[in-house]
Structure 1
Amino acid sequence: MIRTIENNTLRISVSDHGAELTSIYDKVNDREVLWQADPAYWKRHAPVLFPNVGRHYNDTWRLNGTEYTSKQHGFARDSEFICTDITDSSLTFVLKSSDETQKSYPFSFALKITYTLKEHDLDVCWEVVNEDSETMYFTIGAHPAFCVPAREDDVQSDYHLAFEGQTSLTYLLLDPASGTAISDEPHTLTLENGSCLIAAHMFDKDALVFDNGQIQKASILLPDGTPYVTLTSEGFPNYGIWSVPGAPFVCLEPWMGRCDDRGFTGELTEKSNINVLRPEEEFIKSYQITVH
């Protein structure tokens, strides 16, 4: 089922399936901001990535000497959530562990996702509760795709990505064979006045992966340099920017942890930026989407 709420400026819709945001409609400018999942390019809008962002090396992870098989971006995006609360300004969804989830992720947990509208802003809050007797480990991330170009006669390569306060950024590419990060071959994204054009071939080698908390706020700018959409994600250590080459969307992806490095065969406890949650503890993190 699709749930919809709105205020004077925005109307959003979220599906019970994956608790996935399916629409951000800008009522002021009369346009859809979120990618509408045309399967010719990419069949999703804004999946929630849990309990793993990206892929484990060889799609396998280890804990206490036991190996588990995982799939890219985890199972939350393909799970049915329960909508537990609807108000005039918010929607809340919950996913609980099951016999099925425990086959690939052997923990008891609850994942709660709340979408809250505040004028031109959409706040997305994740809450993870460890309902297990063991310490649990996970990564979690966002993957919203924004319509670029936003207007019919615009060209995507005339749009800019803007990063507040930055002169350049360091990023990694993904290994095509394993979908994991080539961590020993960093690249530089050069910026002019904190921004760069969305170049025609920017995503020919898949996503750009940014570590070390480099990106706390990212904006997509219209061809005239005015802001179109901004994503603020304070305190997130990892970030992805991605599109399908030639597709009319760009994803801004704040992550709490990311895919494995290529060749990583250690225990999950040894993984960089892994989130650790002891029994009965709660993890809370949020990010904001601003439509200009």
Structure 2
Amino acid sequence: MIQLKNDHLIASIHPKGAELQELINPATQVNYMWSGDPAWWGKFSPVLFPIVGTLKDNTYIFNGQQYSLPRHGFARDRTFLAEQISETAALFTLQDDSETRAVYPFAFSLALHYQLDDDQLTCKYIVNNRSDNTMWFSIGAHPAFAVPLLKYRDEAKYTDHYLVFDRSNQLVRYKLKDGLISDETETVTLDHGKLRLNEELFREDALVLKGLPDSEIRIECSNHPHGLSFRWEDFPYFGIWATAGAGFVCLEPWCGIADNIHHEQQLEQKEGIQSLAPGEEWTRQWSVRCF
């Protein structure tokens, strides 16, 4: 585990999956991340690469050949090369190998750069195309934040918390069918930009959103002043997910999305797929500020 720290935050990141596992305020000892309890969901903040969500029949076609990938791809289960740049920054890098090329026929480099600045942690994704042809990929974040915070579990329930959107007054949810995007949508009305958390929200899996106008969501509680602000830029899709009874909520900006139920499985025609020319670099980032 690599640990980053300053006077405001301590962040612990594991080389497996380059996964952020703890985000602690050293003054209060409050950990803002989910505990990773495997009885509910044994991950903390996996990176989704080279796909986001589920492929139809777990299969895609590229250059006439079929390939198989599990939901959310393979990067979250691979060990990254970890480099501590400074007390407040670290870089985690994954490169293609014979195992990845058997299921994803591209030469690539995927790096996650973590940086602490005062009370904010930023995670930057850096994708490089090391192959001779156009590279096709998706990428997404999946951080799980503790709800309620462990320190306040005696005085706050899950339903005392809400998500505050900086621009939206309603959400259009694209419903999932067996992990794929269906033709059915549902409008979720917000109360002055607030969505109160409850287990019923996730009874039919994640809230999948497209073209969200927001760039910030806050997690707040009606019983105490602590929470967090989550920000992102240039991610056209967003997921919100939780497991009933587990005590977390995931805020997930995506460049990519699960296959539609009507998708013909051609990789280049996949909704949300990103293309990257040979030798080119692609970046996106998200950040979380704790209060």
Aligned residues: 288
> What SS does the corresponding residue of 1:49 show, helix, strand or coil?
coil
Residue 289 of structure 1 and its aligned partner are, at CA, apart by: 0.8
1:235-250 pair list within 5 angstroms? 235-250=234-249
**What corresponds to 2:206 in structure 1?**
207
Identity of aligned pairs, percent? 35
Query: Is 1:219–1:227's contact at 8 Å kept on the other side of the alignment?
Result: no
**What corresponds to 2:232 in structure 1?**
233
- The counterpart of 2:159, out of the listed 153, 157, 160, is 157
Query: Is 1:214–1:237's contact at 8 Å kept on the other side of the alignment?
Result: no
Residue 137 of structure 1 and its aligned partner are, at CA, apart by: 0.4
Give the distance between the partners of 2:192 and 2:224, measured in 1 at CA.
11
**What corresponds to 1:8 in structure 2?**
7
Unaligned runs of 5+ in 1: none
**What corresponds to 1:253 in structure 2?**
252
> What SS does the corresponding residue of 2:40 show, helix, strand or coil?
coil
Give the distance between the partners of 1:32 and 1:266, measured in 2 at CA.
41
- What RMSD in Å do the two structures reach over aligned CA positions? 1.3
> What SS does the corresponding residue of 1:181 show, helix, strand or coil?
strand
Query: Is 2:167–2:214's contact at 8 Å kept on the other side of the alignment?
Result: no
**What corresponds to 1:180 in structure 2?**
180
Unaligned runs of 5+ in 2: none
Query: Is 2:111–2:125's contact at 8 Å kept on the other side of the alignment?
Result: yes
Query: Is 1:215–1:239's contact at 8 Å kept on the other side of the alignment?
Result: no
Give the distance between the partners of 1:105 and 1:213, measured in 2 at CA.
30
1:123-202 pair list within 5 angstroms? 123-150=122-149, 151-153=152-154, 154-176=156-178, 179-182=179-182, 184-202=183-201
**What corresponds to 2:49 in structure 1?**
50
1:58-73 pair list within 5 angstroms? 58-73=57-72
TM-score by length of 1: 0.95
> What SS does the corresponding residue of 1:173 show, helix, strand or coil?
strand
Query: Is 1:169–1:214's contact at 8 Å kept on the other side of the alignment?
Result: no
Give the distance between the partners of 2:208 and 2:44, measured in 1 at CA.
20
Query: Is 2:56–2:265's contact at 8 Å kept on the other side of the alignment?
Result: no
Residue 243 of structure 1 and its aligned partner are, at CA, apart by: 0.6
> What SS does the corresponding residue of 2:202 show, helix, strand or coil?
coil
Query: Is 1:171–1:187's contact at 8 Å kept on the other side of the alignment?
Result: yes
Letter of the aligned partner of 2:286 in structure 1?
Answer: Y
Residue 106 of structure 1 and its aligned partner are, at CA, apart by: 0.4
Residue 119 of structure 1 and its aligned partner are, at CA, apart by: 0.6
2:31 maps to 1:29: no
> What SS does the corresponding residue of 1:174 show, helix, strand or coil?
strand
Give the distance between the partners of 2:212 and 2:67, measured in 1 at CA.
29
Letter of the aligned partner of 1:180 in structure 2?
Answer: L
Residue 207 of structure 1 and its aligned partner are, at CA, apart by: 0.7
Deviations 1:103-158 (A, max 9, x none): 11000000111000001110100100000011110000000000001112210011
Letter of the aligned partner of 2:170 in structure 1?
Answer: S
Pick which of 91-100 and 204-213 moved more.
Answer: 204-213
Structure-2 change in CA distance of 1:190 and 1:200 (3 Å)? same
Residue 229 of structure 1 and its aligned partner are, at CA, apart by: 1.1
